[in-house]
Structures are given as C-alpha cells and as structure tokens.
Amino acid sequence: MRISTTSCLCPFLVCLCFIQRCSGASHHVPTKVPSKNQTKLANGETEVHHRPKRGWIWNQFFVLEEHMGPDAQYVGKLHSNSDKGDGSVRYILSGEGAGTIFIIDEVTGDIHATKSLDRERKTHYVLHAQALDRNTEEALEPKSEFIIKVQDINDNAPKFPDGPFVASVPEMSEVGTSVLQVTATDADDPTYGNSARIVYSILQGQPYFSVDPKTGIIRTALANMDREAREHYTVVIQAKDMAGQVGGLSGSTTINITLTDVNDNPPKFPQKNYQLYVPESAQVGKPVGKIKANDEDLGVNADIRYSIINSEGANMFSISADRDTREGIISLKKPLNFERKKTYTLNIEGVNTHVDPRFSYLGSFKDTATLKITVGDVDEAPVFSMDYYIMDVYENSPSGTEVGAVTARDPDSRNSHVRYFLDRKEEGINYFRVDEYSGVIYTTLPLDREDMPWHNITVMASEVDNPSLLSHVPVTVQVLDVNDNPPEIATDEEVIVCESSRPGQVIQTVTAVDKDDFANGQRFSFASPSQLPVNPNFTLKDNEDSTASIIARRRRFSHLTQELYELPIVVWDGGEPLLSGTSTLTLRVCPCQRHGRIRMCQGEAFLSSAGLSTGALIAILLCIVILLAIVVLFITLRRSKKEPLIISEEDIRENVVTYDDEGGGEEDTEAFDIIALRNPAAAEELKFRRDIRPEGRKHCGPPRIHRSPSVELDEVDVHEFIKQKLVEADMDTSVPPYDSLQTYAYEGQGSPTGSISPLDSPGTHSEQDFNYLDDWGPQFQKLAELYGDPESDVTT
C-alpha cells in the first residue's frame, strides 16, 4: 500500500508534493515483489507461503487546521499491494475521529477531513487502517496504525493572563530602575514557524517608562520623577507574535504604576512670623496655641520635631508635636503675670525626624518661624504673702488674744482693697476669728494644749470690688504649754509586798507622769506627806532621777494579819510654777514565789501559769454549775421513782455500807469528834482551828491546861443518842427500803488532863533567834511564823 498527498498549502508542503509527484510511486508507493515467502510457478502464478511479508509502507499524514473551504479537505491516500485496481479490495478506517472527522473511500483508499480542526484543542489523531477482501471479508493485510498531525497556522494572538498589573517605584529613582516584568503567552505551536515568537513594545507611558522587547521588563526611562508633581502613571504594553512582523497577531495589557514617597522635601512654615494672645490666667501645663510646618512628603517622611531654640521662650513655654495632625502644640510651663512681663518672643524650629542622606544635596531639612505671644491682663484673685502660715499662742490665754496676722494684696494694677474671713466649713473656726480688714487672727475661747495641741484653719481673701474672686491660705496654730497639770504616779495597780520582805528591801520603784510637755513634765521629786506621822511599815526614797523607791521598814508581813496597806506619795514637777500632786498606792501582802525578778501572789501565779482570763474562769464556773444542776436533777428523779441504789438480779435483803475515810492527818483533830453525834449544834460552836495561832491570845505566864470538850458532855448517854438516831432512820421515807448498818465509833469520855498538843500550850518564848528560818524558803514559812519574834502590826 502506498500513501500519496495531492494538496499542499504551505511552501514546504508544496515542495514535498512536487518531489512526490515527480518521483511517482517508485519512492512512496509500495510494489509487490517476490519475497522469500513466495514461489513463482510455471504458469506465472505465485504460491504464498504461511508467513507472508507485509506490504505496507507508511508516512505521516498532515492536515491544516482551520480549513474553511466548501469541500472536504484531502488528507492522503491508502493503497495495498494486493489491490489490482479491480475493486476487490475494500479499505476500512478506525480510531480517533474515524467516520466523523475522517472518512475513507473504500475503493480508492482516499482520506478526507470533513470538519475544520483546531491544533490548540488537539494536535494529532491516531487511526488504524486495514485492507479486506471484498468478497470474503478476509484481511488481506494486518491492521496497522498511523498518525494524522494537525498542521499549525497563526490563529492565536498573544495574551497576558495576569493583567492588568499594579506596580510601584520610588520617586526620584535613577533611569533604568526595574519596575515590573510582564509575560504574555501564545497558544500557537512554538516549535513551528514564528507563530508563537513574541516581541514586547510600549504603546503608552513614554517617555517615563520603557520595556525590554524580549523579556518584558518595564524600567524607568526618565530621571527625577517627582511624586509631589505626579504620582500615578498608566503604561500600556503590547505583545506581538511572528517576531513583530507585519501580519502578526498582538495583545496588550495595562500597568498602573505609582511613585512611592521618599523624604525629598524639607518642612516649610507657611509664614515666618506669627502672633498669639494668651491671658495671664492660663493654667500651667495646658495648651495655649499651636503652629504647623507643611511637608509635602508622606508618612514618616513628613514627621516633624518642633523645638523652641531661644531661652526666653523655652523658659516659659514648651512645644510638642501632635502625631495625627503634625502640629506643634504650645503649652505653658510657668504662670504668666501681666504686671511683670507683657510679651514673649518664641523662635520655633521644625526638623524632619527621618532624613534620607541621598538627598542631602537638596539642603537642610528644617525651617524656622517666629512666634510673638502677648499676655492678656485678667482680674486676678488676691495673693497672700506666704504659701502657708504657722503661728503660736499659749494655752489658757483669755479670749481675744492676738495669734498673728495674714497679708494679701491685689496683684492687678488697680490694687483693690482686700477683705479677710475664715472658711466656715472647718471645725477649728469656733476657737478663732479674723479681722476682715487687717487680717489679724484672735482667739475666741481659751485653748487647752492637752486637749488639742494644734489647730488648722483656712483664711480666705477676696477683693472688695469683685468678691467672687477668692484665694485661700492654710494657717496652723500651735498651742504652747504652760504648767497647769500636777504630776501623778504612773501606775494605778497594786504593789505586791512579799511576806518574806526584810527591812531596807526595795519593794518597788515608781515613776510619775505629767500631762504637760517635756519642758515641764519630765523632772519629778518624791516625798511622803509631811502632815502625816512616820509610816512604821514602809518608807519612800527619792532616787533623784524622776523615780522613787518604796522600801520596807520591818520584816515578816502576814496577809492573814493584814493584807492591804496604803502609802500616800507627794510628787512635785520641775515646772514654773511648781505643782505637786498626792497619790495613794495600795500595797498587797502576798506569799510570793520567785520567778526571776518577777514576784506575784500564789493565787495570781496559778491563774497566770494557767493562762486563764476572767471570761474563761466565768465560763468554767458556769459549766460546773450546770453539771451540778444535772446531778441534783438526776438524784431527785431517782428518789422520786423509789428505785434501789443497787440494782442486781438477786434478792438483796441486807446491805452493809462501808465508809473508808482515812482522816485529815495529824492537824485534823475534829474529823471523828463524838460531839457531832451528841449535839451537832453545840459542836459547831466549839469548833476552832488548831493549825494556826488564834488572834489576840497572848500568854506570859505558865501554860494553861485545856480539857477535852468530851469531858464537859460526859453526862450525855450515848446509848440514848444512838436509839434516837435509829428511830429517825426508820421513820425517814427517803432512805432505801432495806436494812442498813450504821456504825458509830466512840472511844470514851477522854482524859481529865486534857490535850497534850504543843499547839494549844503556848509557854514562855525561847530566847533563841529563829529569824534564819525566813531564808529557808516557802517550805519553812509556817515554822518561821511559829518560832519568830512577835511584833506588833501597826496599820496606817
């Protein structure tokens, strides 16, 4: 089979067609020749062997895209060596577009394209050709594959897929500064001809910008482009294929270019001289005016720092920049006074804060202006001569005493008269008044330093012509001390005197207090009252250091004999005039325990060691009372129910109650006195303690012999007494309903000689000195009292 083409449009195809037609079928058309698989017979026929050699010779088919003719476009021709031209061979076509786009003549093998093709959609088609025997439908040749390529023509213009574009470049940039690169695409075949060869050119934007024809890079073409003169530029770039030749297709895009700002403009004040009016009543720290320098730049390039460069203005005023408006805010640093200075001149400078050194050749980026400030006269409130006043006056001074004077004046030029008065809202106004014309302050009541040593008042001043303008000044009045308070003893507590105190021993050191101040209240002297007799128990010693010592004059105080003593003390201060006061101290006698230097009574020591307060003791006592009430209530309920004291499952008919009492020792001589059995009322009258010596019993003669009380009652019949008690027990309804045994111990009538105990036999006193027993401690205190020398106790 051979392939032949007869239609060629491009010059290259025309040459190929010409060469094909001149050479005939000798080059492209296959011919049937004997092969190793065939044998030529005698009659001229050939015998085909089992492995025949394929007779297809293939070339690629080419078809032009975008064919617009009325007839189908001829593509090529298929021919098989088995085709004798008698129509016995039938050609069939299969594959991409077979039967729809491409059709084949079954007899001649001619292929035509019935539709216009677009290479940009599909560049080639793969088809399969086969030759069949028309009669037997047997394949004369195996199915073979071939390709039809769509030949490109220049039918697509270049496009900018990302346009339009936005770009920026700093102003004042040098020529050739790169701005942006644009790229166009062409859908035509870049490997065939110049259909996709693009060249760039600028249609709009000259002479400011240029474009590279090959790369599409846009650059600045004009030097010193100023943003302040023109900020935005529109550039149109064209892309043309066919290498820019005539007949090529083109596309364009727009680039919006903005010049960004650089600091190439210094600040400028619109004018060189300004004027400002400021009243003298303007507050310090508050803005009084503003000034602005213009800068054509933007952002940080237009930031300006303002300053006052002359000392006259800088001492009274300050200036700062507002970040939003870029104005210079002028504020007052010190109060203005029209009477002192009426005008001020300020030299103000504005400087860029971000200077670009590339543009230093343009000059200094700063400017100056002069501001003249005129101070306005305002009617002002009176001004006191001092910011505050401190005065003093002696206490107890009579009403109307002059304390001091305040002075205020009108600061204005007319110098109006001033009127004074006190602020009625303050508490101390009741003690003072002020003269409304002179400003002299007087007392209205006598003052007491001990009650209030300082007074704070506020004096107000106003102009007579304009009372609404007020000024204030604080006045502090100190009350000076005079010696009008007598001294007193510093403590009101009782002084503890130990029973074991010796003559000459310091009981306690006392001090004094005085309500007067240091000058009159810190030097004290002490003495006993001169009109009283000498105290036999205690004496007072002035230590000459504003303290005094209480000294014992005898030994062995007893709290049983006398517990409390009173000691009057006279105290003098060192003031002028000399004042004195008498205080009476209470001295309590206690058996003391030694805890270092601290002495306390035994009862107090117990409470102190337990750490119990008065509230705690009351709570404990209440708890005890409640418990006792519960016990009494419980016993009462048990008796009302007639329940036995002993509960047992057995029937108890007899019960022995035993009282195990060991007695009170040698000193308890009354625990089992038979008198309690005979006559309890009489026994109570005869009871007395034998462990201490009774008061008022003094014996100088021989010892008296005491008879036992039982001897005086020996005539009482104990048997009758016991019978009486038995009857009372039987008649008592509150006792248990069973038998009980009550035993009464009775040792007899006693001895007619009486008691031989030495406690009740005071004889003559021994001449031996037992005073050393006082030093043996609390264990021998009782013995020291029994054998010590008796001394009379004198109470003052």
pLDDT reported for residue 66? 77
Residue 117: pLDDT above 70?
yes
pLDDT > 60? residue 665:
no
Statement: residue 386 has pLDDT above 90: yes
Give the separation between CA 291 and CA 307, rounded to whole angstroms: 11
Going by C-alpha positions, the residue among 177, 88, 103, 172 that lies closest to residue 133 is 88
Examine the pLDDT at 274 and tell me if it is beyond 90: yes
Distance CA 130, CA 142 (A): 7
pLDDT for the residue 107: 84
What is the average per-residue pLDDT within 492-497? 82
Phi and psi of 716, rounded to 5°? -75, 135
Give the helix/strand (H/E) hosting 712: helix 709-712
Q: What is the pLDDT of residue 266?
A: 92
Q: What is the pLDDT of residues 341-361, one digit of tens each?
A: 999 999 999 999 998 888 888
pLDDT, residue 165, reads 94
- Name the residue with higher pLDDT: 649 or 177: 177
- Percentage of residues of the chain with pLDDT beyond 70: 72
pLDDT at residue number 291: 95
Please measure the distance between the N-terminal and C-terminal CA atoms of the chain and give it in whole angstroms: 168
**Which pLDDT value is given to residue 768?**
65
Q: Which residues have a Cβ under 8 Å from the Cβ of 455 and sit 6 or more positions away?
A: 428, 431, 432, 447, 476, 477, 479
Residue 439, SS3?
A: coil
d(CA 142, CA 151): 29
Question: Which tops the pLDDT comparison, 575 or 36?
Answer: 575
Give the per-residue pLDDT at 7: 37
Omega prior to 207 cis, within 30 of 0: yes
Q: Reply yes or no: is the peptide bond before residue 164 cis, omega within 30 of 0.
A: yes
Does pTM surpass 0.75? no
pLDDT of residue 344: 95
**Is the pLDDT confidence value at 397 over 50?**
yes
- Which pLDDT band, with edges at 50, 70 and 90, does 288 fall under? very high
Question: Are the CB atoms for 187 and 164 separated by under 8 Å?
Answer: no
Query: Taking CA 453 as the corner, what is the angle to CA 452 and CA 458, rounded to the nearest 5 degrees?
Result: 85
Task: Map residue 408 onto helix, strand or coil.
Answer: strand
Q: What is the pLDDT of residues 691-716, one digit of tens each?
A: 444 444 434 343 343 444 443 444 45
Q: What are phi and psi of 188, to 5 degrees?
A: -70, 170
Q: Which two tokens stand for residue 18?
A: 């010409």
The pLDDT score that the predictor gives to residue 694 is 44
pLDDT at residue 186, as a whole number: 86
Given its phi and psi angles, is residue 224 left (phi above 0), alpha (psi -120 to 50 degrees) or beta?
left
Whole-number Å distance between alpha carbons of 285 and 332: 5
Instruction: Quick: pLDDT tens for 450-477.
Output: 889 999 999 999 988 888 889 999 999 9
Closest by Cα among 133, 134, 127 to 112: 127
Specify whether the CB–CB gap between 147 and 125 falls below 8 A.
yes
The per-residue pLDDT of the chain, averaged, comes to 77
Sign of torsion over alpha carbons 262, 266, 269, 271: negative
pLDDT at residue 26, rounded to an integer: 31
DSSP H or E stretch at residue 682 = helix 680-686
Q: Using the predicted structure, report yes or no on whether residue 636 has a pLDDT greater than 80.
A: yes
- Give the pLDDT of residue 287: 95
DSSP string, 533-567: PPPSSEEEEE-SSSEEEEEESSS---TTT--EEEE
Residue 179, classed as helix, strand or coil, is: strand
Q: Which residue has the higher pLDDT, 336 or 597?
A: 336
Q: Are strands 470-480 and 389-394 parallel, antiparallel or unpaired?
A: parallel
Distance CA 500, CA 171 (A): 112
Q: Over 70: is that where the pLDDT of 687 sits? A: no
What does the alpha-carbon distance between residue 761 and residue 172 come to, in Å, rounded to a whole number?
138
Give strand ranges (E) for 596-647.
Answer: 598-601
